[in-house]
Amino acid sequence: MLDTTPTDQVTAILNDFGAALEAGDIARATAMFQDDCYWRDLVTFTWNIATLEGRDAIAAMLAAQLAQTAPSGWRIAEGEVATEDGGVTTAWISFETAVARGHGLIRLKNGLIWTLLTTMVELKGHEEPLGFARPLGAKHGAGKHRPSWKEEREAEARDLGYATQPYVVIIGGGQGGIALGARLRQLNVPTIILEKNDRPGDSWRNRYKSLCLHDPVWYDHLPYLPFPPNWPVFAPKDKIGDWLEMYTKIMELNYWTRTTCKQASFDEATDEWTVVVDRDGQEVVLRPKQLVLATGMSAKANLPNYPGMDRFRGDQHHSSKHPGPDAYRGKRAVVIGSNNSAHDICAALWENDVDVTMVQRSTTHIVRSDSLMEIGLGGLYSEQAVRGGMTTDKADLIFASLPYRILHEFQIPLYDQMRERDADFYAGLEKAGFRLDWGDDGSGLFMKYLRRGSGYYIDVGASQLIIDGKIKLAHGQVKEITETGVLLEDGTELPADVIVYATGYGSMNGWAADLIGQDVADKVGKCWGLGSATTKDPGPWVGEQRNMWKPTKQPALWFHGGNLHQSRHYSQFLSLQLKARMEGIATPVYGMPETYHLG
C-alpha cells in the first residue's frame, strides 16, 4: 500500500467496480461501499435526480437499473489525478452508459467508497454543437435560394407555436426558464418560453428599487456565457435584467413576452399537453409534449389574511409588489416580516427618510455578506477559487457531490466560524432585541435555503440600522389590521401610512393548481425541501429537492428553478431528460418518491 499512489488506488477500485457492474454482480459492487455511503445520481443510472443512501438502497437501485444502464469505461477523468486529504481520497471520474457519457466524483475512506456522484454529461449521438462542433454560421459552398440567418430566425418565430408545435413549453421567463431554454436549444429541442412581462429581465426590473443580487457573481453564471471579469460582485437588478435580455437574444431563444398561460391540461391518450395562452391579447393554443413550470422560487406571493385588511386606509402590498421608498418620504411604514425582502425594504425606506418599523414574528438567521462570501462560498465560488483553477462546472459538481443527508455536518463548522468572526455584530443585534437563529441544527443559511427556501437575511447593511435603532423593531404575531395601522397580539399598535407584507412565497405547485388544476397540484405535491423534519420542512426524509428538475407524479410535468447556481447546473440534467424523451430513448425512472405534503 505504501507504494500505491491515490491515483493508483482509485484506478484499481474503479476497475473492480466497473468489472463488477459489467458482470452484473451487484453484491460485489455494493460491497465496495462502506456502511455510511451515498451514491448521488443525476440521470445516468436512475433517469432521476436521486441519492441512494446505504448499500441496501444502492443494491435495490442497481437491481432495477443496472442491466439497462450498461455502464462501462470507469476511469479517472482525463487530465485529473486523485488526491488524498485527511483520510479521504477524492477523484474526478468518467464513465459511459449505453446511451450517454458521464462524469462524476468519487470519495474513498479506507479503500471503500464513501460518496459517489454520477452525472450525465451528454447523450451519445446528440452532443451539443460547442467548441470544435460549433456551427459554421456562414453557408459555404453555393446553393439556390438559401435563407439568411435572419430569415431563418424570422421563419422560426413565425412558425413555432402556429404551423409547428414545440416539444417543450416553459412557463416563466426568468433566469430558470432562460437557462433551461438555452440548454434545450443547444440540444435542438424546439421550445417556447412564456413570459408575462414586456421584456426578458423584467421580473428583476420590476422589483424594489434597491434590489441587488445577494449571491456573488461566481455563483451566478448562466450556461455557456459567464459574466465577464468586470461584472460587479452583486449585480443591481436592472443590470441583471439587461443581461437576461441580451442572453435571451444571443442564445436565440423562442421567448414570448406579454404572454400568460390561461390553462393547461394533459391528454394521456395523445401524451400531449394543451396549453392555452394569451399572447399579447391573442389566444394561442400550444400542444407541447412536455410542460415545465419555471415560475420561480419568489413568484407565488404568500399574502397573509389578517382581519381588517380591507379597512386599512393607507397603501398595503406584498413585498413582491413594493415599488421602493420614493412615495413614502416622511411617512410611516410598517413591514411585516424579518427575512431578506423585509430587511432590504426597511433599509431602503430608512435611507429615504421613512419612519420604519419591522415586525419580527419568528427568528431569523442572519449572516454578513462578506463572511458568507469568504467562509461559506469562497472555496468554490470566488475570484480566489477561480485563480486556483476552480471552474464553475467543477464547483457545481463538488457541491452536488455532498450528500444532502450529511451536508449540514459540513456547514456547521463554517457557521461556527462566522458566529465567532462576527461576534460583536450578533451581540449588537441581540441587544437591539432582534431574535436570531442559526437553523434548527446550527447549520446556517444554505441548509435553511435548501430545506425551506426562506428564513434568513444576507446582511448588506440593514442589520446595522437595526443595531442602531434606526430601523425600529416590534415582535409578535399580528392580531389585525386597523384603519390606521397594525395591531399586534400583545396589544402594541403600530400606526402606518404603508404596510408591506414581506411574508414570503408559496410552493411552486401553487402554479400547477392555478394553471392545471388542484388535483394535479395535489398529485404532484409540495415543491422544494428535503424532508429534514426541521422548521417548514416536514419529514419524512426524501433526500432530494421535492419535484425539482426531475420527473413528477404528473407525467410530462416538470419544475425548474432555484437560485442562479441551481438554475444553471440543474438545467443541464433537466434538458437531457427532456431530450432523451424527444429522441425516443428509453428513460426508465427509478425512485419516484411518495407525495407526503401538498404544499
Count of residues in contact with a copy of itself, rule CB under 8 A: 64
**Toward a copy of itself, which CB reaches closer, 154 or 409?**
154
d(CA 114, CA 109): 6
Residue 172 CB, nearest approach to a copy of itself (Å): 22
Residue 383 CB, nearest approach to a copy of itself (Å): 5
Residue 382 CB, nearest approach to a copy of itself (Å): 9
Count H helices and E strands in the chain, helices first: 19, 25
Among the listed ranges 11-19, 124-132, 255-263, 433-441, the one in contact with a copy of itself (CB under 8 A) is 124-132
**Toward a copy of itself, which CB reaches closer, 24 or 129?**
129
d(CA 237, CA 142): 46
Identity of the residue numbered 482: T
DSSP string, 405-463: HHHHHHHHHHHHHHHHHTHHHHHHHHHTT--B---TTS-HHHHHHHHHS-SEEEESSHH
Contact positions with a copy of itself (CB under 8 A) in 445-504: 460-462, 464-465, 470
Cell numbers found for residue 301 = 406571493
d(CA 562, CA 548): 9
Task: Output the CA–CA distances (angstroms, integers) from residue 153 to 21, 149, 251, in the order listed.
Answer: 47, 6, 12
- The interface mask with a copy of itself, positions 552-571, x = CB under 8 A, is --------------------
Residue 288 CB, nearest approach to a copy of itself (Å): 23
Identity of the residue numbered 86: G
d(CA 188, CA 130): 13
Q: Does 131 bind a copy of itself (CB under 8 A)?
A: yes
Residue 191 CB, nearest approach to a copy of itself (Å): 15
Pure H helices in 444-563: 444-452, 462-467, 509-515, 518-524
**Toward a copy of itself, which CB reaches closer, 126 or 523?**
126
Cell numbers found for residue 10 = 482509485
Q: Does 134 bind a copy of itself (CB under 8 A)?
A: yes
d(CA 15, CA 18): 5
DSSP string, 127-138: ----GGG----S
**Toward a copy of itself, which CB reaches closer, 240 or 520?**
240
- The interface mask with a copy of itself, positions 142-181, x = CB under 8 A, is xxxxx-xxx--x----------------------------
Residues 6+ apart with CB under 8 A from 198: 257, 258
d(CA 369, CA 19): 48
- The interface mask with a copy of itself, positions 206-245, x = CB under 8 A, is ---xx-xx---x------xx--xxxxxxxxxxxx--xx--
Residue 161 CB, nearest approach to a copy of itself (Å): 22
Q: Does 249 bind a copy of itself (CB under 8 A)?
A: yes
- The interface mask with a copy of itself, positions 79-108, x = CB under 8 A, is ------------------------------
Q: Does 347 bind a copy of itself (CB under 8 A)?
A: yes
Pure H helices in 195-267: 202-205, 217-220, 237-250
Among the listed ranges 4-12, 134-142, 172-180, 291-299, the one in contact with a copy of itself (CB under 8 A) is 134-142
Q: Does 353 bind a copy of itself (CB under 8 A)?
A: yes
Q: What is the DSSP letter of 296?
A: -
Residues 6+ apart with CB under 8 A from 418: 367, 368, 371, 372, 375, 376, 444
**Toward a copy of itself, which CB reaches closer, 149 or 162?**
149
Contact positions with a copy of itself (CB under 8 A) in 406-445: none
The one among 35, 87, 110, 136 contacting a copy of itself by CB under 8 A: 136
**Toward a copy of itself, which CB reaches closer, 250 or 285?**
250
**Residue 495 near residue 503 (C-beta atoms within 8 A):** no
Contacting residues toward a copy of itself, per CB under 8 A: 128-132, 134-146, 148-150, 153, 186, 209-210, 212-213, 217, 224-225, 228-239, 242-243, 246, 249-251, 347, 350-353, 369, 383-384, 386-387, 460-462, 464-465, 470
